Amino acid sequence: MALFSRCRVDPGSDISLDDLDPGATPGASRENGEQALPELSRKLGTLVQQLWADQRYALLVILQGMDASGKDGTVRKVFSGVNPLGCRVFSFKRPTPEELGHDFLWRVHARCPRRGEVVVFNRSHYEDVGIVRVHDLVPKKVWSARFDQINDFERLLHASGTRILKFFLHISRAEQKERLLERIHDPLKAWKMELGDIEERAHWSSYMQAYSEAISRCSTDHAPWLVVPADKKWYRNLVVAQAIIHELESLDLRPPPPHFDPAAVHVPD
């Protein structure tokens, strides 16, 4: 069984993140995983080039998870062999007044990939059924209606040629603490550290409940959720890389024929 298949949440499943082990590494060893990743990254780079040339499909990759779960690290490691020409990464921050003046998906739709492109969301529209729920930023009747709205939105994207993979990077509370401590004492990371990340730990159980329901309600055939054990960075990266490669390979990507006859072209000395 492919590693990512173990992480996929079947449509209609009712999962609880509390029941899933963030430190699990079924089906792989660290040595083999770390050795495999560079080649997987190169393979992904080739497939993204083929996607760019093919121009029939787009790929949206969503990375969601608690603070320090490894969203940035996953992008660096998995996409290290990808030409930036066909790939963008976007990180959603607190909504601006302009964005708040529209529906919650307005700013998300504007950032989705066009055909031929890969876009990675570092956090996403799932914040609008996560943090807003935990902190009572909108009434329950508002955020609870968003599950169906998200499913409809993602169905529209799929019907328009966008393939969607959603990864919840599942980290344990203990591992998060270790990584936050590392950030505090690392000058290259401490400058962007927000103390609010530490304060959010007080809401851990509420976040687990919110994300469990979001994953259960919004894992579909056209936009599946994968809950990836993320305590071991090498395993997290391996699963994400394999899943993306599998999705792109399933598209039978092929570049269009040239608009000229190569046999008839002469390049002068």
The verdict on residue 166 lying in a domain is yes
d(CA 138, CA 1) in angstroms, rounded, equals: 41
| Residue at 269 is within a domain | no
Integer CA distances (angstroms), 41 to 36, 82, 255, in order? 9, 7, 20
* 263 falls within a domain: no
* Token reading at 242: 């394999």
Task: Identify the domain containing residue 57 by its residue range.
Answer: 3-9+29-252
What values do phi and psi take at 203, rounded to 5? -105, 20
Q: How many domains does the chain have?
A: 1
Reported in sequence order, the residue ranges of 161-220 that DSSP labels E, i.e. its strands, are 162-170
Mean pLDDT of the chain: 95
The 10s digit of each residue's pLDDT in 106-116 is 999 999 999 99
* Bridge partners, 65 (sequence order): 169
Mean pLDDT of 27-42: 94
Tell me, yes or no, whether 108 lies in a domain: yes
The pair of three-digit structure tokens given for residue 208, joined into one six-digit string: 């687990």
SS (H, E, C) 9-39: ECCCCCCCHHHCCCCCCCCCCHHHHHHHHHH
Is residue 24 in a domain? no
Assess contact for 74 and 41: CB atoms under 8 A.
no
pLDDT at position 238: 97
Q: Per mean pLDDT, which of 84-98, 109-123, 185-199 is the most reliable?
A: 109-123
From its phi and psi, is residue 252 left (phi > 0), alpha (psi between -120 and 50) or beta?
Answer: left
Residue 40: which pLDDT band, with cuts at 50, 70 and 90?
very high
Q: Would you state the pLDDT for residue 192? A: 78
Structure confidence at residue 9 as a pLDDT band (50, 70, 90): very high
Given this model, what pLDDT does residue 255 score?
87
Q: Do 17 and 227 meet the contact criterion of CB atoms below 8 Å apart?
A: yes
Residue 197 confidence class, pLDDT cut points 50, 70, 90: confident
Domain membership of residue 170 (yes or no) is yes
How large is the average pLDDT for residues 224-239?
A: 98
At 158-193, the pLDDT tens digits run 999 999 999 999 999 999 999 999 999 988 888 878
Is 76 a domain residue?
yes
Q: Residue 77's pLDDT is what?
A: 96
What per-residue confidence (pLDDT) applies to 188? 85
Q: 172 in a domain, yes or no?
A: yes
Report whether pLDDT(1) > 80: no
- Residue 65 belongs to a domain with what CATH number? 3.40.50.300
Overall average pLDDT of the 150-163 stretch: 98
